Amino acid sequence: MVTPEQITHYILNIPPAPTVVRETLQFVRQGDLVKAAKCAEEDPALKLYLKTLVNRPIYGFRNEVHELSQIFGILGISTAQQILYHYLLTLLVPKEWQLFTLNNHTFYDLQASLSRKWEKILRHLNLLDHDTESAITLLPASIIVCDALFGGCKIEVAQLRSVKALDYNTILYRLSKYTLFDICTLIAEKWEMSPKIGHIVYASSGSSQSAEGDELILAKWMHLLLFYELSQSPYVSAGLNEFIDFQIEFVEDIYESFMQVMEYHESNC
Give the other-Cβ count within 10 Å of 62's Cβ. Answer: 4
Predicted pLDDT of residue 269: 64
User: 219-267 pLDDT, tens per residue?
Assistant: 999 999 999 999 999 999 998 888 888 899 999 999 999 999 999 877 7
Predicted pLDDT of residue 26: 94
User: 10-53 pLDDT, tens per residue?
Assistant: 989 998 899 999 999 999 999 999 999 999 999 999 999 888 87
| Residue 23, SS3 per DSSP | helix
Rounded to the nearest integer, the mean pLDDT of the chain is 89
Q: Does position 268 have pLDDT exceeding 80, yes or no?
A: no
Report the sign of the C-alpha dihedral through residues 78, 81, 82, 83, in that order: positive
Predicted pLDDT of residue 118: 95
Predicted pLDDT of residue 209: 76
The C-alpha atoms of residue 85 and residue 174 are separated, in whole angstroms, by: 30
User: 117-153 pLDDT, tens per residue?
Assistant: 999 999 999 999 888 999 999 999 999 999 999 998 8
Determine the Cα angle at 222 with ends 249 and 27, to 5°.
160
Predicted pLDDT of residue 59: 66
Alpha helix (H) residue ranges in the chain:
4-12, 19-29, 33-40, 44-54, 68-90, 104-125, 130-138, 141-150, 154-163, 168-176, 180-190, 195-203, 213-230, 233-237, 248-251, 255-267
- Break the chain into its structural domains and give their ranges: 4-14+95-267, 19-90
User: 173-212 pLDDT, tens per residue?
Assistant: 988 999 999 999 999 999 989 999 999 999 999 887 778 8
Alpha helix (H) residue ranges in 164-212:
168-176, 180-190, 195-203
User: 61-86 pLDDT, tens per residue?
Assistant: 677 888 899 889 888 888 889 889 98
